[in-house]
Structure 1
Amino acid sequence: MISELIRDFVFEIAKKEIPEDVKEIAERQIENLKISAEAGKKSKVFRGIQEKIEKIGLSSPLKEILLYSSASTIYDWDDYLFAGHTGHSAVFTSLFLGENFKIEKEKILKAVILGNEIGGRFGIATLIGPLNGQMMTFLHGIISASIAEFLIGDIKNIPKKISFYVSNPHFLHFRGFMGGETKVFSVSLPTIQGIIASIFDFKENERAFEGFFKLFSYSKLDEEFLNRVFSPNFFLTRTIMIKELPGCAYVLPQLESAISLKEKITESFGKFDINCVQKVEVEYSIIPAILDSISSKFLDFSNHIPAQFSTYCTIALALSKDNFSYRSYEDIEDEKSKILQLTSKIQTKHNPKYTLEIIEKTLEHFPFLLLSKPKISGLLRALIYSEAKINILEALPVLPNIVKALIPTKNIKNNRDMKPPSDNFEFIFPAKVRIFYQGAVFEEERISHSFPAKSEKAKEIIKKKKSIVLKEN
């Protein structure tokens, strides 16, 4: 069944005229990821890597795909959509395969969009599972296998090529993701493997999809649910968000608030002295709370990766640095004493109302998620796998509302009252930060952490990022 759904979906996308707004979003995504990769290539991790790649005989286009898809991940200065960080593989697989095989620009742009749409849909199908966000690295092999076949093969074979990759997909564990700098492999290795899988041409492995979903999804993926997920009637590319600051999207509201409050304190007192910070209080949703619990296990200041997922560390780094930028993460070892001084003053609290807002917003735009079962037990399995320690008692006041939001009504179960999905979706991750400074209290609340790629603000951000990165050449 899944093969037919993918095949029909791909044919529909391939033959239809892509709306102009979707094309413009994809073009902005391409520009944004190029800048992210250029920033990443300045990292010490990438010193000399190009020469080593050439020495072992890896040639174009795999050489460029490997280098750029790795570099674009290092500072977490990327973009993302519902559901997944699809751009790293969708953009660089399309660009460098297209360039190598002299494919027209219009088809390359369509390949990027196709990669987003396929990757995002597999992301939705595996949204409740052992992995989430950037750790859903298997999406990149699915994306690259699809794009390779779309650009230089036969689109009717895309389900078959995906089945080759998902028969042996990547499963990234937390110790590989946050335990060192090996996060740089999280996109490039599955992307290269997906392209390699697309080269072969034996019979499709239908059983591979069954095994894949059994491993990566804690939901019941029945025919009705998958039909809605793989509908060609909405573009997940429209949900792409562009980050203004580097770091995990889930900690950016806290980071942005801290930077803004630091500026306000400086205006009020004429300067900002970290020794005068008495306390920092943070309220946020369950997702950054989980990330704080996970990242704290790996935050040893030997590298910056876990810091990008820690509310404590990003706030402390932002307050201790004069001008926070993507290069600030490189200074984490040198700033260790200041960071520890500040993190000891930071208190975080899960605000269940924020978690409820996220759930309600997501279900408002993608109500078919209610058809995915089980929900409560699946969420608990995902939480247990993460090894995060969350105080469930904090959620008791709004727990009935959360449960109610996750349980479909009888009419929805019978597929009446089920609204079609809306791709006019913007991620929200509400957070509130208070800084107690010399007896005064400064407070800021934010509901989002990035900007829709379709917005003028995103266009400004990309231009600003480009000037920052190029200035350092």
Structure 2
Amino acid sequence: MILEITRDLVKELSKIEIPKDIKKAVFLQVENLKLSAEIGKKKLKFSEEKAEKLGIKPPLLQIALNSSASMMYDWDDYLFAGHTGHSAVFTALALGEEFKIPEGKIMRAIFIGNEIGGRFGILTLIGPLNGQMMTHIHGIISATITEYLIGKIDNIPKRICSYISNPHFIHFEGFMGGETKVFTASFPIVQGVISSLFDVRENQYSEEGFMRIFSWNDFSEDTIKTIFSPDFFLTRTLMIKKYPGCAYVLPQIECALKIKRKIEENFERFDIDCIKEIEVEYSIIPALLDVISSRYLDFSSHIPAQFSTYGAVALALCDKNFTPETYEKVRSHKNSILKIISKIKTKHNTKYTRKILEKVSDSFPFLYGEKPPSVKNILKAISHSHIKISHLLKEGVFIIPALITNRIKTERKIKDDFEFIFPAKVKIQYKDLLLEEEAISHSAPAISEDAEKNIQEKREIVIEKA
């Protein structure tokens, strides 16, 4: 059923007049991801000679290379729900160039990829994979875009079925533990494109198996139809990051940088030995990310620091700004980073968590499901993340009332003016001076002027390092 309504949605999206703000968002998304790939390629080692010997050539070559490189520093964009750009942008651009497809259709393909990927992201948001770890949405996006651009829309259910019968599933160790994270999107994308080569009958059980593994929600058929309605555009929720790193740690980075600048204004220089204490307040999401990423923060790679408030704040205080080069100081500044980390204390601010839940449920009221998650799925979540039950009980008990309150508000319509927030507060005791900064989010809606500023600053970094 889901695959058929996906096809129907693509048909609708292929005919509508795309609103101006959506066109602008897609244009900026393309610019942003191109820069991400260019920056990532400077770090990513790749053998063109071996690719040639194996016969891997455009468009698959560009898709694999660009979608891997763009993930290197986590300097991408995201929408509700998923980091769809890696697959939507690079699949559409590569196929468009290879098959001389008009620019307007390429941009529409990216828009369609965002909308389809975001909706599958919503279906599986409460599940074993979340955020940038949603490997499976990329194969679905690339299979959809391939049929839209060089195949037949009517074949989309078959192609998605082929992919989700054998989808990708990345584990925390592969994602947060090191540079293998860069394949989170590229491997699924290639498989999704390749699915268009084979004309096999649909497997009526694939959809059921896919949902059983990736979704811990129990959506009704009517709710699924609502999610796949053409009445709202998830591309409108697209956010452009100011700094490289997981969106959940960007406010902490911004706060740390602002405080450091204030210290430099009050003293001759910034000396980490003069830091007495650092306190960070944040929501439950980065709190849980810290629990998970701490297992891999061994300074062998910059990747774990992208998800760790401890690592990110320490790195921010070790540099003048926060760029991809900052992450490269993980090894060379190890002693300084460890010294700063030893002074950091974190605290779950339940008000921040409630704000996030209320904001999400206001735009997407069905998200928490039409009935509470089963004990089996709760145990699955705990087992998958390796988070201690005691930690969940300590932090989670405060958000249960908010979940219950938001669950009963399911009659409202979906609103696509949603804007992500990840509130955080950082306090630093430096000598006898106590400084404090608070931030709500440090990504900008793609339809805003701030998004253009973020991309321009990113472009300047690329030009400077060229």
* TM-score under structure 1 length normalisation: 0.95
Deviation at 1:57, TM superposition (A): 2.0
The residue that corresponds to 1:415 in the other structure is: none
User: Any idea what the Cα deviations from partners look like across 1:11-34, whole Å, max 9, x if unmatched?
Assistant: 111111111111110010000000
Task: Give yes or no for contact 1:375–1:406 (8 Å, CA) kept in 2.
Answer: no
Q: What is the aligned counterpart of 2:350 among 349, 352, 372?
A: 352
- Of residues 272, 287, 290, the one that matches 1:289 is 287
What is the percentage of aligned positions where both structures have the same residue? 56
**Alpha-carbon spacing, 1:227–1:281, altered in 2? closer, same or farther (3 Å):** same
> Partner of 2:70 in structure 1?
72
Q: Following superposition of structure 1 onto structure 2, how do residues 24-173 of structure 1 map, counting pairs within 5 Å?
A: 24-43=24-43, 46-173=44-171
Alpha-carbon distance in structure 1 between the residues aligned to 2:401 and 2:254: 29
Match of 2:174 among 162, 173, 176: 176
Cα gap change, 1:370 to 1:306, in 2 (>3 Å): closer
Structure 2: gaps of 5 or more residues: none
Q: CA RMSD in A?
A: 1.5
2:226 to 228, 244, 248: 228
**Structure 1: segments with no counterpart, 5+ residues:** 413-417
Partner deviation per Cα, 1:40-60 (whole Å, 9 max, x = no partner): 0111xx234334323332111
How far, CA to CA, are the matches of 1:86 and 1:268 in structure 2?
43
Structure-2 change in CA distance of 1:441 and 1:219 (3 Å): same
1:214 equivalent in alignment to 2:207: no
Q: Is the 8 A contact 1:131 1:382 kept in 2?
A: no
Q: Quick one: structure 1 residues 224 and 264, their matched pair in 2 at CA, closer, same or farther if it must change by over 3 Å? A: same
Q: Distance in 2 between matches of 1:193 and 1:50?
A: 20
One-letter identity of the residue aligned with 1:17: E
Corresponding residue for 1:252?
250
Alignment-mate amino acid for residue 105 of structure 1: E
Q: Secondary structure at the match of 1:171?
A: coil
SS of the counterpart of 1:333?
A: helix
Cα distance in 2, alignment partners of residues 373 and 108 from structure 1 = 40
Looking at structure 2, the residues matched to 41 and 292 of structure 1 have their Cα atoms a distance apart, in angstroms, of 28
Q: What is the aligned partner in structure 2 of residue 432 from structure 1?
A: 425
**In the superposition, relative to structure 1, how do residues 383 and 256 fare at CA in structure 2: closer, same or farther (>3 Å)?**
farther
**225-234 vs 376-385, which moves further:** 376-385
Change (3 A) 1:179 1:371: closer
Distance between the aligned counterparts of 1:333 and 1:154, measured in 2?
50
Is 1:386 paired with 2:385? yes
How far does the alpha carbon of each residue in 1:371-392 deviate from its partner, in whole angstroms, 9 at most, with x for none?
A: 4443485566434421124353
- Helix, strand or coil: the match of 2:427? strand
Distance 2:157 2:263 in 1: 56
1:313 corresponds in structure 2 to: 311
The alignment partner of 1:10 has SS state of: helix
Mean Cα displacement is larger for which, 330-339 or 52-61? Answer: 52-61
Code of the residue aligned with 2:62 in structure 1: it is E
Q: Tell me, yes or no, if structure 1 residue 472 matches structure 2 residue 457.
A: no
Pairing 1:276-425 to 2, within 5 Å after superposition? 276-375=274-373, 377=375, 378=377, 381-389=380-388, 390=391, 392-396=393-397, 398-399=398-399, 401-408=401-408, 412=410, 418-425=411-418
Output the CA distance in 2 between the equivalents of 1:237 and 1:113. Answer: 7
| Alignment match, 2:19 | 19
Q: Secondary structure at the match of 2:434?
A: strand
Determine the structure 1 residue equivalent to 2:445. Answer: 452
* Structure 1 Cα separation of the partners of residues 452 and 395 of structure 2: 39
Aligned to 1:15, what secondary structure does the other structure show?
Answer: coil
2 CA distance for matches of 1:238 and 1:89? 18
Structure 1 residues 385 and 406, CA gap change in structure 2 (3 angstroms): farther
How big is each residue's C-alpha offset from its partner over 1:98-134, in whole Å with a ceiling of 9 and x where there is no partner? 1100000000000000000000000000010011011
Letter in 1 for 2:315: L
Q: Name the stretch that deviates more: 247-256 or 363-372.
A: 363-372
Name the aligned partner's letter for residue 220 of structure 2: D
Distance (Å, rounded) in 1 between the aligned partners of 2:175 and 2:420 = 23
User: 1:128–1:379: 8 Å Cα contact kept in structure 2?
Assistant: no
**1:201-230 superposed Cα distances (whole Å, 9 cap, x missing partner):** 121222111100000011112201101110
SS at match of 2:367: helix
Equivalent pairs, count: 463
Please tell me whether the aligned partners of residues 90 and 115 of structure 1 are also in contact (alpha carbons under 8 angstroms): yes
Amino acid across the alignment from 2:365: P
Q: Output one character per residue of 1:126-178: Cα deviation in whole Å (capped at 9) or x when no partner.
A: 01001101111011000000000000000111111101100000010111112
- Taking structure 2 as the reference length, the TM-score comes to 0.96
CA contact (8 A) 1:50 1:67 kept: no
The structural deviation recorded for 1:239 is: 0.4
Following the alignment from structure 1 to structure 2, what is the Cα–Cα distance between the partners of residues 279 and 438? 9
Aligned to 2:271: 273
Mapped contact 1:359–1:405 kept (Cα < 8 A): no
Task: Assess if the C-alpha contact under 8 Å between 2:365 and 2:406 holds in 1.
Answer: no
Change in 2 beyond 3 A, CA 1:168/1:395: closer
Structure 1 residue 365: Cα displacement = 0.8
**SS of 2:436's equivalent?**
strand
Change (3 A) 1:149 1:236: same
Q: Residue type matched to 2:427 in 1?
A: R
Q: Is the 8 A contact 2:176 2:293 kept in 1?
A: yes
* Separation of aligned partners in 2, 1:428 and 1:330: 28
Aligned-partner Cα distance in 2 for 1:74–1:279:
31
- In 2, Cα distance between equivalents of 1:314 and 1:164: 39
Indicate the SS of the match to 1:419. Answer: coil
- CA distance in structure 1 between the partners assigned to 2:3 and 2:32 by the alignment: 32
Which whole-Å CA distance do the structure 2 matches of 1:400 and 1:184 have between them? 35
Q: Is the 8 A contact 1:218 1:374 kept in 2?
A: no
- 1:237-258, Cα deviation, whole Å (9 max, x unpaired): 0000000000011111101110
CA pair 278-352 structure 1, distance change in 2 beyond 3 A: same
Contact 2:257 2:321 in 1 (8 A): no
